[in-house]
Amino acid sequence: MILYSDLSAQVKFPEIKKELFPEKGIYRFPAFTEGTIIMRNGIISGQLLNYNISLDEMHFIGEKGDTLALADPFSVSFISMNGSRFYYDKGYLQTIDSSNGIMLAFRQLLSIQQHRPAAYGMTEPHEGMRVYSFYAPNGKTDKIGDDDKVTITAQDVYFFGDGYGHFTKTGKAFILEHFEKHQDTVKTFLKTHHTNFNKLDDLEQLLKFCRQL
């Protein structure tokens, strides 16, 4: 049985003004899609699911058509949706790759910035800022940026995980421990390729190399 809570009672924007977001927050996918929730007690449930990035919650459509949130993510083993798995470890993480017993996953962190006023009624965004469009559960596109003079930036933070759903931020120590018998080979690869553990391309190249060990 899936436990849930009513979203109307939840306020989880300690650093971001809630009124700048769509009513239900910002979702990973354009629409709710069929997914599977595998509980730690072995119960399997199919639901219409979507991940709410701004709330860091997994939402589903209830029997009455309401948008509800999983109330106890610790009871979930993993969630399968749109070709990815979502695990909960101090927040939801979405898998990108899985090989040699290592999962590569990411968590997306959002920050919001209002544009500075400029001449002739224009606004002046900070360098590097991007304007985003996000989707509400009814399929309507909610633009945040031009009209509201607000910019949202997204930072992807990457994690390595084991087969038990335990994750740690990507780093050399995890890889060297996992490939203890091939440490010298891995160290040479990391040095030669100047691996940046904060860049997805570098992480994917590293895992591709490790598949051959």
Residue-wise pLDDT for 111-150, tens only, equals 766 555 554 444 444 444 444 555 444 444 445 555 445 6
Q: Which pLDDT score is estimated for 23? A: 56
DSSP secondary structure, 83-103, as one string: TEEEEESSSEEEEEEEETTEE
| CA gyration radius, the chain | 20
d(CA 170, CA 172): 7
Give me the half-sphere count of Cα atoms (radius 13 Å) on the Cβ side of residue 111: 7
Q: Which pLDDT score is estimated for 65? A: 85
State the maximum Cα–Cα separation within the chain, in Å, rounded to a whole number: 64
In 3D space, the residue among 100, 152, 101 whose CA is nearest the CA of residue 131 turns out to be 152
Q: Read off the pLDDT band of 212 (50, 70, 90).
A: confident
d(CA 209, CA 41): 36
Q: Is the entire prediction scored with pTM above 0.75?
A: no
What are the angstrom distances between the C-alpha of 53 and each of 61, 95, 135, 140, 162?
Answer: 17, 15, 11, 17, 23
Q: Read off the pLDDT band of 28 (50, 70, 90).
A: confident
Q: What is the pLDDT of residues 82-91, one digit of tens each?
A: 888 999 998 9
In 3D space, the residue among 151, 137, 123 whose CA is nearest the CA of residue 20 turns out to be 151
In 3D space, the residue among 45, 67, 70, 72 whose CA is nearest the CA of residue 58 turns out to be 70
